[in-house]
Structure 1
Amino acid sequence: MPHPSRFKCDDVTPTGEPPATHDDMSEDIFSTTEIPFPSERPLNVYAFDPSLGNFVGNQMVTHVRYESLEPGPIGERFAVIDYDGSQRTFYKPVNLDDPKLLMTNGLPPSAADPRFHQQMVYAVASETLQRFEYALGRRVRWRTRSGTGHPAAPKGASRRLNLFPHAMCEANAFYSPDAHGILFGYFKASRTNPGRNLPGQTVFTCLSHDIIVHETTHAIVDGIREHFMEPTNVDVAAFHEAFADLAALFLHFSHKEVLVDTLQKTGGKLFEFKLKGDAELAHGATPAIQSQLNTENPLIALATQFGEAAGRASSLRSALMTPATPDGAKEIGTKIEPHERGSILVAAVFDAYFTVYGRRTFDLFRIYRASGGSLDKADLPVPLANRLAMEASRTAEEFFAICARALDYCPPVDITFGDFLRALLTAHLDYTPDDPDHVRDAFMQAFRLRGIVAENATAFSEDALFWPKVMRGSLRVPGLIFGDPNGLTKDEKDHNGDVLRAFAVTHADKLGFDPKAGPIAAPSFHPMFSIGKDGKLYVSMVVELVQTMRVPFGHGIPGTFPLRNGVTLLIAQDPPEHDKRPDPRVRFVIPKLYHREREERVRNFYVGSGRATTTIPAGHDEDKRFRLDFALLHAGV
C-alpha cells in the first residue's frame, strides 16, 4: 500500500513554500521501500574435487542459507579457522560479504588459493547441515564439549562447529569432539601411482566435496545420538562410516549435469561401475587415445582424488562394493574393519535405491524401446536422459531423507545394522504409509542379500520388522512443552528435562528400566514439525532416555566400563479435542535394554579391542577410551 502522501494527482496551488520531501518514513508502517534480505547465498564449489578439472558439472554453484558473515567465514552455525598446524601460521580469512564476492558467487574454484578452501568447507558443510535439518524437520544441535580436561567454551562457541581447512600435513580428515570441529589435512600425492594428480603434488582434503560431507555428517550424528560414539559392538564404528558415506554419495545425484552425462554413457544403468569412453573402440582393441578409455562412474565413487593420490588407482570407496550374491552375504561374518564392514551397509542401501529407481523408470524404457530405441547403445537421447535424471534425483533425495529420519527411530545406544534396518522400515512407514513402489521390500531384500538381519525380530516380514507401536493413549506425558519450529527456550528445556526424568521413574517398569540400577537421564529431546501427505501439521518429539551402569571387567582386569541401557521415545502432540488439548502420548518405545548376554558381549568387545587396558593420562576423562577416535579411524583411509 503506498504512503498516503505519495503519488497524489490533486491540483496543487503554489504557496511559495519549499517542496515537501518524503525522506522521513517514521509514519510509514508499510515495507514497500524496504529491501528484503536474500534467502540464499550462491557460492562456487567443486562438485567432486580438483582432479576432475572442468569435467561436466565439476565446477558448480551451491546455494546455502543467507546470513551475514564475519571474515573466516564465521556464521551462526560454522566458524572457519584457517590455522595451518604444520606451518604454525594463520591464513588470511576470506570475507564473503565483500561486495565483489557477493556479485560473483564468491571466489572461483582454485586449488591454489587458501581463501577458496575456506569458502569450500563453509559452503559444503552448510549445505549438508541444511539437508539434514530439512529431512528431520528440526534444527540440529552440535555436541558440546564435556568431561574433565576441557575448559569452558566461549559464549556462543557451542552453537558453531569449527572447520580447520589446513589443520595438519597428513592424509587424513576427521571430526574431533575435543576441538569441537573438523580437521582437514593435506598431503603429497604418490610419486609412483598418483592417478590424475602430479607425482608428489599437494592434495587438500578440504577440497573434496565427499570428504567435507562425510566429516560434517559425523558431527551431525554425534549431535543427534551422543552415545553412538561408544563402540560397544563391531557395527558401531562401521555404522558411522557407512552413514557418512551414504550422505556424501546421495548428494551426487543432485548434480544434474553429471547425472545426465552418466545416464547417457551407461544407457540409464546408473549402477554401472565404468562409463564408456566418448570415442568408439572396437571389441578387443586397445585404446589408442584418452577418449576411448573407460572411466570410473563418478556417481557411485567416493573421494576420487584422495584415493588416487594415495596410490589406490581408484576412488576411496564405492557405493556397491559388496555384491548381492551368496558370497556377498558371507562378508558380514568376516569383515570387521569399520570401512570394509560399513561398505556392506552402503551397498545394501544403494541396492534398494537402484531397485526402486528401476521400478520408477521401467515405463520410460518401455516407451523408448517401443518407439524403436535400443538400450544396447549407451548414448540415450537427451530428453530421455533428462527425464531419467529427474527420477534418479528425486529418488535419491527421498532415500537420503529416509536414512536421516531413521536416526530418530534407532535405540539411543549400542546401534547395530539390524537396528538400522528396523529404523528405516519404521520411519518410512510413519512418513509414507502407502508404498506403491515397494520401497520397504527393496530395503528388506537388499539387506537380506548382504546377510544383515535384525536381532529379536520374530520373522522376516514387514510387520515383524517394524518397531511395535504403543497402544494409543496407554502412555502419556503430561506437561511436555513442544515450543515451535524455532526451538525451545532454556526454561522450556529445563522444564521438559524435569518432566521426562519424572516420567521415566514413574513408568520405569513399562519402559524396561530397573529403578535400582541408577538414575535415568534424558540426554536429548527434540521437537519436530512436519506436514503429512494428508496436509496436516504433525507435532512430535523424539526423546532419549538412558540409564548408565558401571560394570566391572572382571577376569583379573581392573576397572569398570559404562553399560548403558536406553529407550527412544517418539511422542505425539495430538490436536485439541472439544477445546481441550490432550496430554502428549507415546507412540513408540524403541529399546536397547539390559540383559546378561548383552553385558557379556559389550565386555568382550571392549576387552578384545584393547580398550579395557588402555591407559588414560591423569586429569583426563577416564571414559574417553570408550569413545570413538575418528583421527585414528580415518588415518590413511
Structure 2
Amino acid sequence: MSDLTPPGTMVFTCLSADIIAHETTHALLDGQARTMREPSNPDVRAFHEGFADIVALFQQFTYRDLVRREIARARTDLSASTMLGKLAPQFGEGTGLGGALRRYPDLPSQINYATTFATHARGSLLVAAVYQAFLAIVERRTGDLIRLATGGSGVLPEGAIHPDLVNRLTDETCKAAAHVLKMCIRAIDYCPLSTSRSGNICGQSLQPTWKRCLTTGTTIGSPFSKPSGGASSCPEVCERCRSRHCAGASGRVPSRRGLPQPLPS
C-alpha cells in the first residue's frame, strides 16, 4: 500500500513536526532579531523563511531511527534520501502538489538569486546552499568508514549495508547535522541588526580601526587595512544610521541582550 496522502485529504499541520519547527522558528527569530521583521530589502523576508526551513530541515536528524532507515535505504547517499531532504510532504500531497512542499538540495532551475524575488523561493536558495554544504561535510566525515568497510575501494557491494556500518554512519550524520544547525543559529548573533542579506554575516574586524555599522551594515575602509581617516573617522556610517550603533574607536558594539560586547577578533 502507498503512504501518499490523497489530494483533498484533511491534513492536520499541528501534527507535522517540520511545520511546527518552521513556524516556531519564525516566532523565536522575531524575538531574537526584531529588526529583521522590517523588509528593507528582498532578502529580509526570504532570510526569515530560509532560516525557518533550515531549523525544520535539520531537526529531522534528531530522529535517529528515521536517519538510520534512510541511510540504509539510500545506501549512504543522503542526496538520494526520500525523506530527509523534504519539508512538509503530507501537506504538499494533501494540497495537490503531488509531493513535499519543498525539496532540498535540488531546486527548480528557474530559481536563482538574480531573478527570483518570491519570498519562499528566494529563501530556498539559502537552505539549498546550507544543505549542500552539510552533505559535503557528511561525505568527508564518513569517507574513512566507507573505505574501511569496502577494503579501500569506497564502492559498496550490492545488497544491504551491514547494520554496524549503518549505525556508525548514523552517528556521524546526526552529529554533523547538530553542528551545522548550531552554527546557523549562532550566526544570528553576528548578523547586522537590520538590512540582513542571505549571504551577509557581520564582518569580523582584522584591524581595530576598521568599522561596520550594525544598523545599516555599511563598512568604512577595508578589513585588511586601516581606513585613512583614523579611528574616529566614521562619517558615512553615522550619517546613514543616525544612531550610536557604530563600532568606532572604543572597539565595542551594542549587544541585543543590552550589554556591550567586544568586537570579534
TM-score category, normalised to shorter length:
0.7 to 0.9
- In the other structure, the counterpart of 1:196 is 5
Number of residue pairs the alignment of both structures matches: 238
Q: Distance in 2 between matches of 1:380 and 1:219?
A: 41
Counterpart secondary structure, 1:514: helix
SS at match of 1:308: helix
For residues 127 and 159 of structure 2, the distance between their equivalents in structure 1, rounded to whole angstroms, comes to 26
CA shift, 1:354, in A, is 0.6
Contact 1:267 1:376 in 2 (8 A): no
| Distance in 2 separating the partners of 1:306 and 1:348 | 24
Partner of 2:14: 206
Residue 359 of structure 1 is matched in structure 2 by: 140
**Alpha-carbon displacement from aligned partner over 1:463-506 (angstroms, at most 9, x marks no partner):** xxx5224639xxxxxxxxxxxxxxxxxxxxxxxxxxxxxxxxxx
Tell whether 2:237 aligns with 1:512. Answer: yes
Deviations 1:212-264 (A, max 9, x none): 10011001111111110011111111111110000011011111111111111
CA-CA distance at 1:342 after TM superposition: 1.1
Partner of residue 98 from structure 2, selected from 301, 306, 313: 313
In 1: Cα distance, 2:65 partner to 2:196 partner:
37
1:587 and 2:263 are equivalent in the alignment: yes
Match of 2:32 among 216, 219, 224: 224
- Structure 1 residues 206 and 344 mapped into 2: Cα distance closer, same or farther (>3 Å)? same
Aligned pair partner of 2:156 in 364, 375, 394: 375
Q: 1:393 aligns with which of 146, 152, 174?
A: 174
Answer yes or no: is 1:543 the counterpart of 2:219. Answer: no
Partner residue of 2:66 out of 252, 258, 263 = 258
Structure 1 residue runs of 5 or longer lacking an equivalent are 1-50, 53-194, 274-296, 424-465, 473-506, 523-539, 546-567, 572-585, 590-637
Change (3 A) 1:379 1:414: same
The 8 Å contact of residues 321 and 344 in structure 1, kept in 2 or not, is answered as: no
AA aligned opposite 2:86: A
Q: Give matches, 1:236-385, under 5 Å.
A: 236-273=44-81, 297-322=82-107, 331-370=112-151, 374-375=155-156, 377=158, 379-385=160-166
Amino acid paired to 1:248 = A
Write the distance in 2 (CA, Å) between the matches of 1:373 and 1:543.
48
Which residue of the partner structure matches residue 11 of structure 1?
Answer: none
Corresponding residue number in structure 2 for 1:468: 205
CA contact (8 A) 2:53 2:127 kept: yes
Question: How far did residue 272 of structure 1 move?
Answer: 1.0
Letter paired with 1:212? I
Is the alpha carbon distance of 1:520 and 1:587 closer, same or farther for their aligned partners in structure 2, counting shifts above 3 Å?
A: closer
Distance (Å, rounded) in 1 between the aligned partners of 2:142 and 2:184? 22
Q: How far did residue 386 of structure 1 move?
A: 0.3
**Deviation per CA, 1:34-77, whole angstroms, max 9, x where unpaired?**
xxxxxxxxxxxxxxxxx96xxxxxxxxxxxxxxxxxxxxxxxxx
Higher gyration radius (CA): 1
Q: Is the 8 A contact 2:204 2:264 kept in 1?
A: yes
| Alpha-carbon distance in structure 2 between the residues aligned to 1:541 and 1:258 | 43
Pick aligned residue for 2:193 from 412, 418, 426:
412
CA RMSD of aligned residues (A): 3.4
Give the TM-score taking structure 1 as reference length: 0.34
Tell me: CA distance 1:510–1:318, structure 2 relative to 1, closer, same or farther (3 Å).
Answer: same
Match of 1:235 among 18, 43, 60: 43
One-letter identity of the residue aligned with 2:151: A
Preserved CA contact (<8 Å) 1:302 1:316: yes
For the Cα contact (< 8 Å) 1:508–1:514, is it kept in 2? no
Secondary structure, counterpart of 1:512 in structure 2: helix
Shift of 1:200: 3.8
Native 8 Å contact 2:44 2:197 kept in 1: yes
Whether the 8 Å CA contact 1:322–1:347 is kept in 2: the answer is yes
Q: Give the partner amino acid of 2:95.
A: A
8 Å Cα contact 1:218/1:240 also seen in 2? yes
User: With CA pairs under 8 Å and 6+ residues apart, which has the higher RCO, 1 or 2?
Assistant: 2
Change (3 A) 1:261 1:213: same
- In the alignment, what sits opposite 1:136? none
Deviation at 1:418, TM superposition (A): 2.0
Q: C-alpha deviations, 1:417-440, integer Å up to 9, x for none? A: 121xx45xxxxxxxxxxxxxxxxx
Q: Give, in whole Å, the separation in 2 of the partners of 1:372 and 1:358.
A: 15
C-alpha distance in structure 2 between counterparts of 1:224 and 1:415, whole Å: 14
Show structure 2 runs of 5+ residues with no match: 210-231, 247-251
Contact 1:271 1:300 in 2 (8 A): yes
